[in-house]
Amino acid sequence: MTPALEIMGLTAGYGEVPIVRDFSTRLAPGSITTLIGGNGAGKSTLLRAVYGTNRIFAGHIVFKGEEIERLAPWDRLARGIGFVPQGRCNFPLMSVGENLKMGGYSLAARGRRAAIERVTAMFPMLRRKWPVQAGNLSGGEQQILETAMVLLTSPSLLLLDEPSLGLSPKMQNEVFATVRAIAAAGVTVLIVEQNVHGALLVSDRAIVMELGRKFLEGPASAVRNDPRIREAYLGGNIKEVAAG
C-alpha cells in the first residue's frame, strides 16, 4: 500500500541547529500514530518540519507521491496537510462563527459554506456556541474549534500537537473520540500527546522519540506493553484498561 506520508532520513531544526535527526517513518492511510517523548525530544519540531515551518537540513518528506520538503506551508496545506499547533490558536476575541469563516478563508464562498456545514455537523457544539467569543469557550471546546478550523480545508493528513493538554479527563476523552472520528472519515492522523496512555488506546501505531531520534516504533498495543515505555511514560505498574 502507498503510505499516506513517508519521511526518509529527515534532519530538521532551527537556524543552524538540527534537532530531529535522521528520522524515517511511514504512515498508512487513515491510521492514527502517536508520537511520544519527553519534553524537548523534538516532537513539535518533527510536526513543524512536516508542515514546513522550520528548517530541513536533509532527507525527504513524500506526500501523495511527491517530495514536499521544499514547499511552503501554504502549498502543503493546499495539497492536504493540516496542522493544529501546540497551545491555543484561535482568535479569542472573535465569535465561533467568525473563527470558522477565518479557518476557511482560503476557500471560495460556496465551498466555505459547505465546509462549515460539514464540520459543524461533525461537532454540533460549534453550532450551539456559534455567537460565543472563542476565548470564552472551555479549553476542550477551543481545541475542537481549532481542529475544526483546520478540517475546513479537508486535509487528508492531520498533524495534532498536544490536543488534550490542560484538559479535564472527561474533555481529554472527548478529544480522543474526536481523533477517532476524524480517522474513521479516512484522514491520516499524526498526534503528539502528553496523555500517553489515552493516546495509545486510540492509536494504531506509536513512535517514541528521544533526543531528536526515533527510539522505538510499533503497533500502539506493543509499545504500550513495552516495559521501558511503561516505566518511562506510563508510571510503571498502570492498571490495564481494555482497549476499545
Ligand X SMILES: Nc1ncnc2c1ncn2[C@@H]1O[C@H](COP(=O)(O)OP(=O)(O)OP(=O)(O)O)[C@@H](O)[C@H]1O
Using CB under 6 A, which residues numbered 54 to 113 contact ligand X? Answer: 86
To Mg ion, the closest distance from the beta carbon of 228 in angstroms equals: 21
Nearer to ligand X, 19 or 119 (CB): 19
Q: Is 45 in the site for ligand X (CB under 6 A)?
A: yes
**Residue 19 partner contact from Mg ion, ligand X, none using kind-dependent CB cut-offs of 5 to 8 Å:** ligand X
To ligand X, the closest distance from the beta carbon of 81 in angstroms equals: 18
Q: Is 37 in the site for ligand X (CB under 6 A)?
A: yes
Q: Is 164 in the site for ligand X (CB under 6 A)?
A: no
Q: Is 186 in the site for ligand X (CB under 6 A)?
A: no
To Mg ion, the closest distance from the beta carbon of 189 in angstroms equals: 16
Q: Is 14 in the site for ligand X (CB under 6 A)?
A: yes
- Asked whether 201 and 221 are in contact (CB, 8 A), the reply is no
C-alpha–C-alpha distance, residues 14 and 7, integer Å: 18
Residues at the site binding Mg ion, with contacts judged by CB under 5 A = 44, 86
Region near ligand X per CB under 6 A, out of 39-47, 71-79, 139-147, 174-182? 39-47
Residue in this structure with the C-alpha cell 509499545, named with its chain if needed: 223
Region near ligand X per CB under 6 A, out of 41-49, 146-154, 174-182, 215-223? 41-49
DSSP the chain: ---SEEEEEEEEEETTEEEEEEEEEEE-TT-EEEEE--TTSSHHHHHHHHHT-SEEEEEEEEETTEE-TTS-HHHHHHHTEEEE-SS--S-TTSBHHHHHHHHTTTS-HHHHHHHHHHHHHH-THHHHTTTSBGGGS-HHHHHHHHHHHHHTT--SEEEEESTTTT--HHHHHHHHHHHHHHHHTT-EEEEE-S-HHHHHHH-SEEEEEETTEEEEEEEHHHHHH-HHHHHHHS-SSPPP----
**Residue 103 partner contact from Mg ion, ligand X, none using kind-dependent CB cut-offs of 5 to 8 Å:** none
Count, residues near ligand X per rule CB under 6 A: 11
Q: Is 19 in the site for ligand X (CB under 6 A)?
A: yes
To ligand X, the closest distance from the beta carbon of 108 in angstroms equals: 34
**Residue 235 partner contact from Mg ion, ligand X, none using kind-dependent CB cut-offs of 5 to 8 Å:** none
Residue in this structure with the C-alpha cell 481494555, named with its chain if needed: 242
To ligand X, the closest distance from the beta carbon of 65 in angstroms equals: 28
To ligand X, the closest distance from the beta carbon of 42 in angstroms equals: 4
To ligand X, the closest distance from the beta carbon of 114 in angstroms equals: 35
Interacting residues of 25 by C-beta distance below 8 A, sequence separation 6+: 6, 7, 33, 207, 214, 217
Q: Is 42 in the site for ligand X (CB under 6 A)?
A: yes
